[in-house]
Structure 1
Amino acid sequence: MTTTTRTPPKRTAERTARTGSAGRRSRREPQGAAWVFLSPWVLGAVVLTLLPMAVSLYLSFTDYNMFDAPQWIGLRNYTQMFTEDARYWRSVVSTLTYVVIAVPLQLGLALAVALALKSIRRGRGFYRSAFYAPSLLGASMSIALVWRAIFNDGGTVDDLLSRAGLDIGGWVNRPGWALLAVALLTVWQFGAPMVIFLAGLQQIPSELYEAAAVDGAGRWRQFVSITVPMLSPVIFFNLVLQTIQAFQVFTPAFAVSGGKGGPADSTLFYTLYLYDRGFTASHMGYASAMAWVLLVAIGIVTALLFRSSRGWVFYANEEER
């Protein structure tokens, strides 16, 4: 006769409760560990980013000179900025002109060098590092000062152009040329977008070029019909990134103009004028208002770029979506 042993209901309930509590602990433990590892980033984001942004937003509605307590003035900083400050609008025009000149030239040169490096078989790593080096050095004040000396009266560029019969003089002392000198410094720092372009070019299937060559397409036709469409997401990424950086340019303009934005405010970029209002004139409330307008402007420009991308950026999985 077979005897069946049954587990008492009370013991079964206790076992189920222990299993359930252990499962809940196992689910909680990874979350706790994740928060421990994320805590330095979260603390840094709150203390170094979110809190200063909140303080800056409050100061933009005050009259604050960094020595006395802030005095609430409402929208006066913004109304003064848009209706009374002529230098503010000159800084806006200078910045927009710089962005329109520097960003296309930089991306065009980066793409050209990336196409050249793609066809190089030997020494590609060396050339890639050599062309990337200006991106590491160009943001420093020392390089900006050297750039100013090169484009100053009697500098290297002035000497070369004089020998060629073009007596232009030093670019940094002429309103029509100073901004171009600053833009060329940015164009010279094309290493970062070049590396991104090179990575994108290496992802384009070679079969597409082979099929186009069989159909009789030349180099230019292959570039227009294959390279540009397949590389359009990378072009868009670099365009957004470099546009945002161009709106925030400061060091080259400060070094070339001596911190004044000259000559004739031709290099008075937005961030340089913001620095002048905040730290030279001690109008920190006004500078905070300028910073928030710049943030909103960059957000609008970025949104417009994303909206325009629907018509010219091609993604390989668009049909699947």
Structure 2
Amino acid sequence: MTTTAPTAESDLGAGRRQRKPRRPQRRWAIWFMLAPAIAGLVIFFVYPLLASVYYSFTRFDLVSPPEWIGLRNYEYLFTKDPRVVEAVFNTLWFVVVLVPAKIVFALAVAGLLARAKRASGFWRTLFYLPALVPPVASVVAFVFLFNPGTGPVNQILGALGLGKPLWFNDPALAKPSLVLLGVWVMGDIMIIFLAGLLDVPRELYEASSLDGATGPQKFRYVTLPSISPVLVFAAVTGVIAAIQYFTEAAVTSSVASGKATVGEGSGAGLGYPNGSLLTYTQWLYVRGFSNYQLGYASALAVVLFIVAAIILVFMLRRFKAFTPEGDR
């Protein structure tokens, strides 16, 4: 009677046969762990998006069943809505002015804090604290500070003989006043910039100094390329927030005009003063939840989503060349 010793090949084959039944179990385990995230994505993003697209082709008031009307909502939006152009202009103004101003000021403050030697923790905390203030509270505080009659800012300007601007009650100064508010609460972006600046290798600055580079040249050829991913992140998130700009503008109009409601009735007083603070999302809110025109509001939302997606894709493609990965 002879016996054959098991070979390495036979042992390897047996091991593979034993491991095969475990693969389906591993797949099910992976899907089980991903299930909460997938469910949240479907429930809170995919389904509302598809529902908005469907309702945009209907007449819907939350009470009666949706009535299919085809492209009439979009036709009214692009040709007949009296205030949508004004809302689009104000929203684009915040995108073009507020976002760059916030990024430039946050980067400048981060650069100063990166050079600070004494009490750097105190100054970082001081500049970051305004970002922790709730938006409504910060707006109410700013409207009080810039009150034309009794605000401390105008009291100081009047004492210096510089006049007393109307600020949030002047259509020409209302949006710039909100830019000041946006710059004041730039602490979250400032902290990200500060982390990026502190992460720039010191060897690059030393090498540029040996080559005779000046301060502006170091910033242009060393600092900016090193923090370019942070700049792209700040620009993209800033544009997304500006496109959806709602709370600050709505509360400012409400407080400055002396009304306690946002978008009451037909929205005739919305965007005070004189429609200068009417943003696209405010008009969407009025048409959907004040006038109960959910079908038309859904059309406004779909157009906003498409335009935002186009802008963000364009930005990412343009900024790709300025990132380290894009230079490869």
The alignment's TM-score, normalised by the length of structure 1, stands at: 0.88
Gaps of 5+ in 1: none
Q: Deviations over 1:120-178 (max 9, x none)?
A: 2444344333322222324x322222222222222222222222323243311110011
Q: Structure 2: which amino acid aligns with 1:278?
A: G
User: Does 1:270 pair with 2:280?
Assistant: yes
Query: How far apart, CA to CA, are the structure 2 residues paired with 1:294 and 1:115?
Result: 35
The residue aligned with 1:149 is 144
Query: How far apart, CA to CA, are the structure 2 residues paired with 1:59 and 1:317?
Result: 40
* Contact 2:148/2:164, CA 8 A, preserved across alignment: no
The alignment's TM-score, normalised by the length of structure 2, stands at: 0.87
* Contact 1:178/1:266, CA 8 A, preserved across alignment: yes
The residue aligned with 2:102 is 106
* Contact 1:151/1:172, CA 8 A, preserved across alignment: yes
Q: Structure 2: which amino acid aligns with 1:166?
A: L
Q: Deviations over 1:223-260 (max 9, x none)?
A: 12221232222212211111111111111011100131
Q: Deviations over 1:2-51 (max 9, x none)?
A: x631499xxxx9x9998556412322333222222222222221122211
* Contact 1:103/1:187, CA 8 A, preserved across alignment: no
CA distance 1:25–1:149, change in 2 (3 Å)? farther
CA distance 1:283–1:195, change in 2 (3 Å)? same
Q: Structure 1: which amino acid aligns with 2:280?
A: Y
The residue aligned with 1:309 is 319
* Contact 1:99/1:246, CA 8 A, preserved across alignment: yes
The residue aligned with 2:267 is none
* Contact 2:320/2:326, CA 8 A, preserved across alignment: no
User: Does 1:28 pair with 2:24?
Assistant: yes
Q: Deviations over 1:98-130 (max 9, x none)?
A: 111111110001101111111124443443333
Query: How far apart, CA to CA, are the structure 2 residues paired with 1:42 and 1:255?
Result: 35
Q: Structure 1: which amino acid aligns with 2:136?
A: M
Q: CA deviation at 1:188?
A: 1.7
Query: How far apart, CA to CA, are the structure 1 residues paired with 2:70 and 2:194?
Result: 50
Written as runs of structure 1 = structure 2, the 5 A alignment for 1:154-169 is 154=149, 155-169=151-165
Query: How far apart, CA to CA, are the structure 1 residues paired with 2:154 and 2:247?
Result: 23
Q: Structure 2: which amino acid aligns with 1:240?
A: V
Q: Structure 2: which amino acid aligns with 1:150?
A: L
The residue aligned with 1:94 is 90
- Structure 1 residue matching 2:227: 3-state secondary structure: helix
Q: CA deviation at 1:87?
A: 0.5
Query: How far apart, CA to CA, are the structure 2 residues paired with 1:244 and 1:71?
Result: 32
> Quick check: 239-248 or 27-36, which moved more?
27-36
The residue aligned with 1:294 is 304
Q: Deviations over 1:173-195 (max 9, x none)?
A: 11001111222222222122212
CA distance 1:28–1:158, change in 2 (3 Å)? same
CA distance 1:163–1:318, change in 2 (3 Å)? same
CA distance 1:20–1:81, change in 2 (3 Å)? same
Query: How far apart, CA to CA, are the structure 1 residues paired with 2:326 and 2:274?
Result: 51
The residue aligned with 2:184 is 188
Gaps of 5+ in 2: 255-261, 263-269
* Contact 1:148/1:255, CA 8 A, preserved across alignment: no
CA distance 1:126–1:42, change in 2 (3 Å)? farther
The residue aligned with 1:68 is 64
CA distance 1:100–1:318, change in 2 (3 Å)? closer
The residue aligned with 2:115 is 119
The residue aligned with 1:78 is 74
RMSD: 2.5
- Structure 1 residue matching 2:3: 3-state secondary structure: coil
